[in-house]
Amino acid sequence: MYLEISNPMDYNVALYIRLSKEDENTGPSESVTNQKSLLNEFVQQHRLTVYDIYVDDGWSGSNFDRPDFQRLIADIEAKKVNMVITKDLSRLGRDYIMTGHYMERYFPEHQVRYISLLDGIDTGVDSTANDITPFRAIMNDMYAKDISKKIKSVKRDKQRKGQFIGGKPMYGYKMHPTEKNTIIIDDEVAPIVRRIFAMALSGMSCRRIAEQLNLDGIPTPATYAHLQLAKSGPYSGLWSSERISNMLQNETYIGNMVQGRSMKISYKSKKCIKRAPSEWVIVEGTHEPLVDRETFKKVQLMLSSRRHTRSRTYDFLLKGLIFCHECGYPLAVLNRKNAKGEDVLYFVCRTYQRFTRAGACTCHSIKEEAVTKAVLSKILEVCKTYLNYDQLQSFAQETLKNSSNTIDCKAEIQSLQSEIAVMTRHLDQMYMDRLNGLLSEEDFRRIYQQVKMERSAQEIRLKSINEQIKRPANTTVEAKTLVKQFLDTAFTSRELLVSLVERVELTEDKEIIIKFRFHE
C-alpha cells in the first residue's frame, strides 16, 4: 500500500464493508471475509486505532439506508469516528450523486478523512487519484443501473410467460408446494371469495359486503396472510369497500395472471407508482379459476353502473343508471316525508341542486317509484316483442327434461355447502374464544345466535333443493311456472336490468329515454 498516514494516533477509524447479492456472483474476492482481511492488514501496517467495523451484508450500493451505514453516520455525528476506510469506492456506494455528496461535502464538513484502498483515494492528501474519483463514481453507478436493467428484464420475461413473481398470491390462492412461480387455489378461503362474488351478483354494494364479512368475523386478506401493517388505525383488520371492489375487478379469479400493476420510479428509489391498466401484464389461462367468466362479466357491469352515483344511503333499482337528459349528470335521490309521514324517494338533477342560484339546468323532481315503474313497463313492452310464450315454454320444458334440475341446482348447492361450512367454523372459533376469555358472554350469545340463524336458513334452503332434485318433476307444469315467473319478475332483477340497459335519461318534461346495450 502506497498510502501513508503520518499521524495515526489522531484517528479513530471506522472500517466499512458492504456486500450485495450481485457482488456474490463476481467471486470470493468481494466477500465480507476478504474485505475485512484487507482492511485489517492496512490498519495494522499503519498502526491505526479501529473504533468499530460496520458491515452491511446483502445491501445494494444504490441504497444508502443501510443499517450499519446509518450507524456509521450516527457515530460520525457523535464525533466518535474521524476516518472511514473501504476496500474500494463501490463499497461506499454505487449512486454517484450520493457517493459524491458524502465524499465532497459530508466527510469534509465533519472533518472525516476517507480512504479507498484499491482506488488509491485519500481525501487527506492532494493526489491525482482524488481528481478522477467522480468518474469512478459514475462508472459504479452505471454498473448498478446495468444490473437493475438485467433484473427487471428477467422479471418482465417471467411475467409475460404467466409465471407468478410476487411475494404473496392474491387472496384465495397460495403458492404451489413443488412448482416454482405457480399458484393454486387455497381451499381454506376460496369459499369466501366465491361468496363475495355471489353477494355482489345478488345486488349487494361493496360497502354492504364488507359490513357482512366484518359481522361474520372473517379475517381480512392481510390478517390471513399474517402481513405486518405499516400503519395501524381504528379500521385495521377490517374489510373495506375498497378491498372488496379491488377483488371483484381482479381477473386473477377467472384464471388470468395479472402482474405489473405498479413499478419503481428508478433503481435508486423504493417508491412505486401505479400503472394504467393498459400497461399491466395479463396472461390468460395460467391457473384454475375461482369464478366463471360469465359471473365475473355480470359483476363488472353491476360495479360499472354504480360509478355514476354518490348515494351511500338509499338503494333503488335504477341506482347509477339514471341521468339528466339536459346536462348529462347523474340524478341525485332525496328522501322526503309525505302527508302520512312515510319516506318517499325523489329524483332531482344534481347540477340544479348544486347551482340553483346560477340557474344551471332545472329541478327534474319526480318520484323514484313512478320512474322505476315506467322504466320496467317500457322494458317489458320492448322485450315482449322478442319473446314468444310458446317458444319459451317449449325451451323451458326441454331444459327441465334434460337437466332434471340437477345441473341448474349444482352450483347453488356447492355455494350453500361452502357457506354452511364457513359458518360452522366460525361458530367453533367463537366458542373457543369464549372459553379462552377473548369474547364476553354477552357478545358470544349475540353473535352466536345470529350466525346460527343464518346457518339454519341456509340448511333449510339446501334441504329444499335436494328434495326438489329427488322429486319426480312434472316438466310441463314446471315449465309454465318458470316462464310465468320469468315474465313477471325478471325485469325487477338488477342483474338483468344492468345487462339490458346502458343508461336511462329523464328530460325536463319528465320524458323517459332508455338506451339499451343491444341496439336492435
Average pLDDT over residues 305-327: 71
Same domain, 195 and 116: no
Q: What is the three-class DSSP state of 198?
A: helix
Q: Assign 3-class secondary structure to 163-193.
A: CCCCCCCCCCEEECCCCCCCEEECCCCHHHH
What residues are paired with 505 via a beta bridge?
Answer: 323, 513
Same domain, 111 and 178: no
Average pLDDT over residues 166-193: 88
Grid coordinates standing for 121?
Answer: 483515494
Average pLDDT over residues 156-168: 80
Same domain, 99 and 50: yes
Same domain, 20 and 136: yes
Same domain, 207 and 294: yes
Average pLDDT over residues 69-82: 94
The pLDDT, as a whole number, for residue 385 is: 67
Whether 483 maps to a domain, the answer reads yes
Same domain, 138 and 54: yes
Grid coordinates standing for 128?
Answer: 491525482
Whether 461 maps to a domain, the answer reads yes
How many CB atoms are located within 10 Å of the residue 363 CB? 13
Q: Where are the extended beta strands (E) located within 236-280?
A: 257-259, 262-264, 272-274
Same domain, 122 and 223: no
Same domain, 483 and 426: yes
Q: What is the DSSP letter of 94?
A: S
Mean pLDDT highest for which of 8-12, 149-153, 301-305? 8-12
Tell me which of 290, 305, 320 is where a domain ends: 305
Range(s) of the domain holding residue 198: 173-230+237-305
The pLDDT, as a whole number, for residue 404 is: 46
Q: What is the DSSP string of 397-439?
A: HHHHHHHTTHHHHHHHHHHHHHHHHHHHHHHHHHHHHHHTTSS
CATH code where residue 125 lies: 3.40.50.1390
Whether 165 maps to a domain, the answer reads no
Whether 217 maps to a domain, the answer reads yes
C-alpha 229/C-alpha 157 separation (Å) is 30
Whether 136 maps to a domain, the answer reads yes
The pLDDT, as a whole number, for residue 519 is: 61
CATH code where residue 203 lies: 3.90.1750.20
The 10s digit of each residue's pLDDT in 32-56 is 888 898 899 999 988 999 999 999 9
Segment among 265-279, 326-340, 437-451, 471-485 with least mean pLDDT: 471-485
On whether the CB atoms of residues 214 and 241 are closer than 8 A, the answer is: no
Average pLDDT, the chain: 78
Same domain, 23 and 126: yes
Taking alpha carbons only, the member of 32, 105, 92 closest to residue 64 is 92
Whether 153 maps to a domain, the answer reads no
Same domain, 407 and 484: yes
Q: What is the three-class DSSP state of 258?
A: strand
- Per the structure, the count of domains in the chain is 3
On whether the CB atoms of residues 287 and 165 are closer than 8 A, the answer is: no
The letter for the amino acid at 61 is G
Q: What percent of the chain has pLDDT over 90?
A: 11
Tell me the whole-structure pTM to 2 decimals: 0.45
Whether 160 maps to a domain, the answer reads no
Rounding to the nearest 10 degrees, give the CA dihedral for residues 188, 193, 198, 199.
110
Q: Which residue has the higher pLDDT, 128 or 296?
A: 296
Whether 2 maps to a domain, the answer reads no
Same domain, 51 and 141: yes
On whether the CB atoms of residues 427 and 451 are closer than 8 A, the answer is: yes
Same domain, 177 and 135: no
